[in-house]
Amino acid sequence: MRVLGLETSCDETAAAVVSDGRRVRANVVASQIALHQRHGGVVPELAARGHVTALIPVVRAALVEADLTMADIDVVAVTSGPGLAGALLVGVNAAKALAYGLDKPLVTINHLEAHIYANWLTATGTPEPVSAPAFPLVCLLVSGGHTELILMTGHGHYTHLGRTLDDAAGEAFDKAARLLALSYPGGPAIERAAAGGNPDAVALPRAWLGDNHDFSFSGLKTALLREIDPYRLPAEPTLDDSALFPEHRPPIFRAGLPVADLAASFQAAVIDVLAVKTARAALALGARNVLLAGGVAANAALRARVSAELGAQAPPGSTPPPLRVPPLEYCTDNAAMVAGAAYYVLRQGGQAGWEADIHPRLALVATGAGTDR
């Protein structure tokens, strides 16, 4: 089954072709980072317009990379939510037109579910597919808009264990990067700055919230702001249009701000809570695998910390469940994860009708009976 996947939920315009939910034949992403960088974050209207101009070229590029024609495609899949409404509309309407014109099934995909299924993909150029993750599994989904801990007992069968009560982990990284006058996107910028810092240099809080599986990062962000405030200088007047939006101006600091130490301490505070709670849940529930998913899963320190915490919390003499992480190219938004997820959704009877619509606030809910297929 060759699935053409489209992804336009936020600021990446992507198309991909995946065979049988595992083998990536093509994966093309047109990034809008340069478009949004000067604003310090994604501007929804600009994102939607960017998708309009980029989508057909990335579809054509994906078909060329896969050495296929449109006639070779068996299924068309697209992200229908959650995401930015205008951005989603571009992808869903394009997918409907392609599926209708080709007389092929249309599958609409939950963006969160797609991130999870990135763990089933085999990276382009890999000669043999890796084994599929084993159920039951616990997945930590961490991105700019979502931080959720999920138990998955089979394809389409999910139980929410915990979620952020305020900022998502990726959102917290973005806000911390803005506070430190680092570049956008914030997650990679914080990771780069942290590489030269001491994670124990600044005592930042961890919100443990008792024994539950929920997360909170708003207090950590406030604590970072308090550490930075003594170094902040008044913003200088500017003649460019960012003067209309003072919050988009990079802050100015007096000499001596320990950016690397603050970044390292902030990153450690976020990762500590994510890793400890993920390992605790996985071991308590008897997970056979632990998955990371979402853009923040690309963070090398998070990967290492979760793996170490699984070993530290496992009972003496026992073997902790192995950690599975998607290849880096499938952690951030892409269409291969959409096409891969569509294979399993379609096998659960998830074909969409022509009335399919966007769902900007779509939640992750159980869609199947939880069978291991």
Q: What is the pLDDT of residues 325-367, one digit of tens each?
A: 999 999 999 999 999 999 999 999 999 999 999 999 999 986 6
Phi, psi of 108 (to 5 degrees): -100, 140
Query: Does residue 311 lie in a domain region?
Result: yes
User: Does 240 lie in the same domain as 175?
Assistant: yes
Asked if the model's pLDDT at residue 48 lies above 60, the reply is yes
Q: What is the dihedral of CA 167, 136, 324, 334, to 10 degrees?
A: -60
User: Does 271 lie in the same domain as 242?
Assistant: yes
User: Does 180 lie in the same domain as 267?
Assistant: yes
Q: Return all residues near 223 (Cβ < 8 A) that are at least 6 apart.
A: 204, 205
246/10 Cα distance (integer angstroms): 24
Closest CA to 336 of 326, 349, 348: 326
Query: Does residue 132 lie in a domain region?
Result: no
Asked if the model's pLDDT at residue 236 lies above 70, the reply is no
Residue-wise pLDDT for 183-208, tens only, equals: 888 999 999 999 999 999 999 999 99
State pTM to two decimals.
0.92
Asked if the model's pLDDT at residue 238 lies above 70, the reply is no
User: Does 179 lie in the same domain as 203?
Assistant: yes
* Share above pLDDT 70 across residues of the chain, in percent, rounded to a whole number: 93
255/346 Cα distance (integer angstroms): 57
Query: Does residue 363 lie in a domain region?
Result: no
Going by pLDDT thresholds of 50, 70 and 90, the confidence category of residue 372 is: very low
User: Does 315 lie in the same domain as 241?
Assistant: yes
Strand partners, 233: 252
Query: Does residue 128 lie in a domain region?
Result: no
Joined tokens for residue 188: 């990679």
**Given strand 12-19, what is the order of strands in its sheet?**
23-31, 12-19, 2-7, 75-81, 106-110
Q: Which three-class secondary structure state does DSSP give residue 280?
A: helix
User: Does 228 lie in the same domain as 118?
Assistant: no
Domain containing residue 73: 2-123+328-347
Query: Does residue 352 lie in a domain region?
Result: no
Query: Does residue 364 lie in a domain region?
Result: no
Residue-wise pLDDT for 262-286, tens only, equals: 999 999 999 999 999 999 999 999 9
Joined tokens for residue 107: 């599958």
User: Does 44 lie in the same domain as 104?
Assistant: yes
User: Does 258 lie in the same domain as 203?
Assistant: yes
Query: Does residue 360 lie in a domain region?
Result: no
**What total of structural domains would you count in the chain?**
2
User: Does 332 lie in the same domain as 316?
Assistant: no
Going by pLDDT thresholds of 50, 70 and 90, the confidence category of residue 239 is: low
Average pLDDT of the chain, as a whole number: 93
pLDDT at 29: 97
pLDDT at 248: 58
Strand partners, 75: 3
Strand partners, 6: 15, 78
Q: Return all residues near 44 (Cβ < 8 A) that are at least 6 apart.
A: 84, 85, 86, 87
User: Does 142 lie in the same domain as 290?
Assistant: yes
| Lowest-pLDDT choice from 28-37, 48-57, 255-264 | 28-37
47/348 Cα distance (integer angstroms): 32
User: Does 18 lie in the same domain as 54?
Assistant: yes
Query: Does residue 291 lie in a domain region?
Result: yes
Joined tokens for residue 241: 């249009």
User: Does 288 lie in the same domain as 271?
Assistant: yes
**CATH (domain of 8):** 3.30.420.40
